[in-house]
Amino acid sequence: MSPIRTVAVVGTGVIGASWAACFLAHGLDVAATDPAEGAEQRLRAAVARHWPALKAMGLAEGAAPERLRFHARLEDAVAGADFVQENGPEREDLKTALYARMDAAAPPGTLLASSSSGLAVSAMQSACTHPERVVLGHPFNPPHLIPLVEVGGGAKTAPEAIARAMDFYRAIGKKPIQVRREIRGHIANRLQAALWREAFHLVDQGVASVADIDAAIAHGPGLRWALLGPFLNLHLSGGEGGMAHLLAHLGGPIESWWQDLGAPTLHAGLQAKVVAGVDEALAGRSAAELQRARDQLLLDLMAAKADHPELD
């Protein structure tokens, strides 16, 4: 297969704009499209906003925002693309129709990848003439900074397409993992959802405030999780005996905690309590301020992790 030089970014909201900046930073040409009024101006402003962080991470030879082209028509954007990164609304009916259009317009060897955070590839590829090239390429926000990409396929996806997608993401510095069976929410979002469920439950039951729950993660396990995943962290907690020792001694208590976890509903009272708790926790800080600080620390953390490949 020919190398990927041009990526079409379909849908240029928060995720699509971040992807576009990422691809540009790796020296690729980007053909973007979005039907929303003012989409091109917002996209170019987002790329300019992301560029200093990408420059700090290191730009590929020839990388430039000027390699971004915007097309009013979807078909024009994908017609010359070697790879398509779709970021449309999270609705199965819209995705299915969108993939039928992209499939009809893109060259036969072009991979069609979806940033969908939870939909099944099987549904999205169902109206395609070439369903074998439709894959999942779900990033973590913001894609221009976070390395994780979840890659998978549907009932009609060719294994070669998944392998090609993973190779491409690796080539632009991402950390792709394979979703080996279709499941709602894929992998990382399901793990997040499990934590969110208990966080909402603890607020609902009056066990802790919103600020204290955030502190419990940000100043506790979250620090370790940024370096190693849940299984390796558990292994290290087992001392010399590792995971086997830990499970022998804490397996029972852990299972009892699972059985006691909550199953809250997002009723109006809980929603109001969480919104008020977030406002209180912000304490005059703006979300933009918070995001700038988070992104800078992400850059610092990723640079530090790169010096320790044993944690990869």
Domain containing residue 242: 189-311
pLDDT of residue 127: 96
Mean pLDDT computed over 33-47: 97
Is pLDDT above 90 for 311? no
> Do 172 and 200 sit in the same domain of this protein?
no
Q: Would 184 be classed as within a structural domain?
A: no
> Do 173 and 193 sit in the same domain of this protein?
no
Mean pLDDT computed over 221-244: 95
Q: Would 165 be classed as within a structural domain?
A: yes
> Do 210 and 129 sit in the same domain of this protein?
no
Q: Would 99 be classed as within a structural domain?
A: yes
**What are the strands, taking DSSP E only, across the chain?**
6-10, 29-33, 68-71, 83-86, 111-114, 134-139, 148-153, 175-179
Provide the token pair at 260. Answer: 């006691």
pLDDT of residue 1: 66
> Do 283 and 152 sit in the same domain of this protein?
no
Q: Would 146 be classed as within a structural domain?
A: yes
Percentage of the chain with pLDDT > 90? 92
> Do 29 and 52 sit in the same domain of this protein?
yes
pLDDT digits (tens, 9 = 90+) for 270-309: 999 999 999 999 988 998 899 889 989 998 999 999 899 8
Q: Would 306 be classed as within a structural domain?
A: yes
> Do 89 and 212 sit in the same domain of this protein?
no
> Do 66 and 151 sit in the same domain of this protein?
yes
Distance from C-alpha of 275 to C-alpha of 265, rounded to nearest angstrom: 15
How many other CB atoms are found less than 10 A from the CB of residue 229? 11
Q: How many domains does the chain have?
A: 2
pLDDT of residue 207: 98
> Do 253 and 221 sit in the same domain of this protein?
yes
> Do 234 and 107 sit in the same domain of this protein?
no
> Do 45 and 100 sit in the same domain of this protein?
yes
Cβ proximity of 133 and 107 under 8 Å: no
pLDDT digits (tens, 9 = 90+) for 130-144: 999 999 999 999 999
pLDDT of residue 2: 75
Is pLDDT above 70 for 186? yes
Mean pLDDT computed over 216-244: 95
Mean pLDDT computed over 15-19: 98
Is pLDDT above 80 for 46? yes
> Do 14 and 131 sit in the same domain of this protein?
yes
Q: Would 30 be classed as within a structural domain?
A: yes
Q: Would 1 be classed as within a structural domain?
A: no
Mean pLDDT score of the chain, rounded to an integer?
Answer: 96
Residue 137 sits in a domain of what CATH number? 3.40.50.720
Cβ proximity of 29 and 7 under 8 Å: yes
pLDDT digits (tens, 9 = 90+) for 79-124: 999 999 999 999 999 999 999 999 999 999 999 999 999 999 999 9
Q: What residues form DSSP beta bridges with 244?
A: none
Q: Which among 179, 212, 236 is the end of a domain? A: 179
Mean pLDDT computed over 22-50: 98
Buried b / exposed e across 61-82, counting CB within 10 Å, b at 16+?
Answer: eebebeebbbbeebeebbebbb
